[in-house]
Amino acid sequence: FPSKLPNVGTTIFTVMSALATEHNAVNLGQGFPDFECAPELVDAVTQAMKAGHNQYPPMPGVPALREAVARKIEALHGKAYNPNTEITITAGATQAIITAILAVVHPGDEVIVLDPCYDSYAPNIDLAGGKAVRVPLTPGTFRPDFAKISAAITPRTRAIIINSPHNPSATIWTAEEMRQLEALLAPTDILLISDEVYEHMVFDGAEHQSAARFAGLAARAFIVSSFGKTFHVTGWKVGTVAAPAALTAEFRKVHQFNVFTVNTPMQHGLAAYLQDPTPYLQLPAFYQAKRDLFRQGLEGSRLKLLPSTGSYFQCVDISAVSDLNESDFCQWLTREVGVAAIPLSAFYGDSFDQRVVRFCFAKKDETLRAALERLRKL
């Protein structure tokens, strides 16, 4: 039978993690922490299970968690979302994004994505019968190019997907760029999917510019986040979507028929843990220290560091080290040097060799040091 996704194979993250395991390499490829989450969070979930929170929760999520999420967004960004009608708990950001796309994209609709971008967006759009229109971020700096975005808009454009802090480039959008997007979309009815899973990983005193801060964006936006990133529990797969009531109503129509609801004890545990903002307020400093350790370790090596101002990624230019294209380089690095990385070509529609690979520094300091010892020999 004909494949619905003929051009899709196994994701690069799965491929590189398997290769890392096979070759006993330090895995700085797939983005996930190799350290434990806070024991208080595990206790909170355990207590929820013991307290009998083990059956289906309400379809949009446990009320206490939706309320905690709404309070957090209002405290950080000054935008009040109604937890009953505007916040939904999802099975991670991945399910949030595909659900938003399935809810609003009709066959033949176009959705603008900015290359390089997370690998699920385009296949999600395909599954909805839409067309991903890939607009490149500015080569080298990865900044949004509003002239190019504007030129890509047609009467069929249903939505645009943005992602800040950005995977894979580790750049963050400025308030000015968010305002430019707001102005560009103002005369249109184009929807926004704002992937903010790395919202709490911004460095050097910068602030995360959530779409929630910009009235003209918030009014048209699904704002997506993930507790997997914020609390070091990528395997729990719990995320959130904040969106105006009319968008949330459409979102929930799809949500109720693809997962219906998200596991109950995790939601209760997260609701309790969110009462104290300290853990996520400390996250920038926590990850900035890891970024600095990793960057300092690479200084003087032949890998050229690109800026890393947000997310838990560090990109490097490999030109001075190897003539291999970035995909072959990552294979070679994993097999021969013993460090796994992700080629940036995996995040582009038309993959091309721009000599850049991505490392994830969400790792124990000792893991980073073990990787650095190998990378410095390059």
Residues forming contacts to ligand GLN in the complex (CB under 6 A) are 11, 13, 30-31, 167
Which CB sits closer to ligand PMP, 315 or 337?
Answer: 315
Give the H/E segment covering residue 290: helix 283-298
Residue count, binding to ligand PMP (CB under 6 A)? 14
- Which of 228, 269, 279, 310 touches ligand PMP by CB under 6 A? 228
Query: Residues 22-61: x/- map of binding to ligand PMP (CB under 6 A)?
Result: ---------x------------------------------
Told to check if 197 binds ligand PMP by CB under 6 A, we report yes
Which CB sits closer to ligand GLN, 167 or 261?
Answer: 167
CB-count burial class (<10 Å; 0-12, 13-18, 19+) for 11? middle
- Closest CB 319 distance from ligand PMP, rounded Å: 26
- Closest CB 97 distance from ligand PMP, rounded Å: 6
Which CB sits closer to ligand GLN, 30 or 334?
Answer: 30
Give the H/E segment covering residue 61: none
Return d(Cα 151, Cα 367) in angstroms, integer: 45
Q: Quick count: other Cβ atoms within 10 Å of Cβ 250?
A: 16
Told to check if 195 binds ligand PMP by CB under 6 A, we report yes
> Which option in ligand GLN, ligand PMP, none does residue 267 bind, with CB closer than 5 to 8 A by kind?
none
Q: For ligand PMP, which stretch binds (CB under 6 A), given 89-97, 171-179, 271-279, 362-370?
A: 89-97
Query: What is the Cα 22 distance to its own chain's centre?
Result: 27
Told to check if 118 binds ligand PMP by CB under 6 A, we report yes
- Check: CB of residue 357 under 8 Å from CB of residue 168: no
Report DSSP letters for 88-143, one per residue. Answer: EEESHHHHHHHHHHHHHPPTT-EEEEEES--TTHHHHHHHTT-EEEEEEPPTTT--
> Which option in ligand GLN, ligand PMP, none does residue 11 bind, with CB closer than 5 to 8 A by kind?
ligand GLN
- Closest CB 1 distance from ligand PMP, rounded Å: 28
Q: What letter does residue 232 receive in the DSSP assignment?
A: T
- Closest CB 216 distance from ligand PMP, rounded Å: 23
Q: Quick count: other Cβ atoms within 10 Å of Cβ 46?
A: 12
- Closest CB 27 distance from ligand PMP, rounded Å: 14
- Check: CB of residue 200 under 8 Å from CB of residue 280: yes
Told to check if 310 binds ligand PMP by CB under 6 A, we report no
Helices (H) and strands (E) in the chain, counts: 15, 13
Return d(Cα 175, Cα 336) in angstroms, integer: 43
Return d(Cα 92, Cα 258) in angstroms, integer: 13
Which CB sits closer to ligand GLN, 26 or 247?
Answer: 26
> Which option in ligand GLN, ligand PMP, none does residue 93 bind, with CB closer than 5 to 8 A by kind?
ligand PMP
> Contact positions toward ligand PMP, by CB under 6 A?
31, 92-94, 118, 163, 167, 195, 197, 226, 228, 234, 237, 239
